[in-house]
Amino acid sequence: MKILWDYTFSEVMQVDPRGRKFLLTEPPMNPKVNRQRMCQVMFEEYGFGGPYVAIQAVLTLYAQGLTTGVVVDSSEWLDIASRDVSRYLIKLLLMCRYALSRTPDFETVRQIKEKLCYVSYDLELDQRLSKGTTVLVEKYTLPNVRQIKIGSERFEVPKCMFQPGLVVDEQPGMAKLLFNTVQAAALDVRQELYKHIVLSGGSSMCPGLPSHLEKEVKQLYLTRVLAGNPDRLNKFNIRIEDPPRRKHMVLLGGAVLADIMEQR
């Protein structure tokens, strides 16, 4: 990290950090020793004047103009992150006899994923279309000018975010984690949380993810809370907020917070 900070302060920002105030971000439940070490380096190595450490999810809410809500983060440090989705795409392409390695071709795979993959709203329909037609097939030109065809992989790959057992040990997917988190909150704030669900992180940019996530959460709410009574589902309000710049929501929220603190 120190190498990255050195580069940031001297090459990118070109500032003298001595005496300045700084804002650092951390994930929820970050061990206290990590925070202490970060602040120690900032004080002793760079001579910063004052620290503020903020939780990344809170900054995401600030970037969206909220103080209450639930953040669905899909950053690199999570159990199922962008790198896992890319590795799963490599696996499926290898099954199609496209020889892509996990290291040199990782950037190419990432570009394929971001350009062609999407989260299916109706998985059974897309699977039938994929088997019986070529309507979902897209071509992609590799750096060596070779063309490959991507079909069912386009929607099968992002499926691992909702079914983690495809890439790691069996555990709740994105929708179940979101539902369980909100239901674990106090009863009087649950509806407010359901109305302010904010997506954040690179993998959240995948087309179709917001609508599929909403669909799965509604189904979970119907079966586990409403006992399968669809007539009561009309009163259930849920809103998935997917801001265009959600890939950089933590940075934007940090800028908002820093500006407010500076004005004070």
Blockwise average pLDDT, block size 10, the chain, 264 residues: 91 92 89 93 92 94 96 74 85 84 76 95 95 95 90 95 86 94 97 97 92 97 95 93 93 92 76
Q: Rounded distance, CA 184 to CA 248, Å?
A: 28
Q: What range defines the domain where residue 211 resides?
A: 70-76+172-246
Q: Which two tokens stand for residue 120?
A: 């299916």
pLDDT for the residue numbered 96: 85
Q: Token pair for residue 173?
A: 């997917």
Q: In the prediction, which pLDDT does 103 show?
A: 63
The pLDDT value given to residue 117:
96
Element (H, E) at 57: helix 56-63
pTM of the model: 0.89
Instruction: Mention every residue, 6+ apart, whose C-beta is less than 8 A from residue 24.
Output: 38, 39, 42, 51, 52, 53, 54
- Give the pLDDT score at 116: 96
Q: What residues contact residue 263 under an 8 Å CB cut-off, 6+ apart? A: none
Residues 148 and 203 in one domain: no
d(CA 68, CA 48): 31
Contact criterion met (CB below 8 Å) for 240 and 214: yes
Residue 204 lies in a domain: yes
pLDDT at residue 145, rounded to an integer? 86
Domain shared by 254 and 227, yes or no: no
User: What's residue 77's pLDDT?
Assistant: 54
Helix axes 56-63, 249-263, angle to 10 degrees: 80
Contacts of 67 (CB under 8 A, 6+ apart): 61
Q: Is residue 167 part of a domain?
A: no
The helix/strand/coil state of 177 is helix
User: What is residue 79's predicted lDDT score, i.e. its pLDDT?
Assistant: 64
CB atoms within 10 A of CB 44: 9
Within-domain flag for 61: no
Residue 234 and residue 250: Cα distance in Å, rounded?
A: 33
Say yes or no: 141 and 182 in one domain. Answer: no
Distance CA 231, CA 40 (A): 57
Spatial distance between the Cα atoms of 192 and 174, rounded to a whole number of angstroms:
19
Output the domain CATH number for residue 259. 3.30.420.40
Alpha-carbon Rg for the chain in angstroms: 21
**Residue 124 falls inside a structural domain:** yes
Number of domains in the chain: 3
At residue 32, the pLDDT reads 93
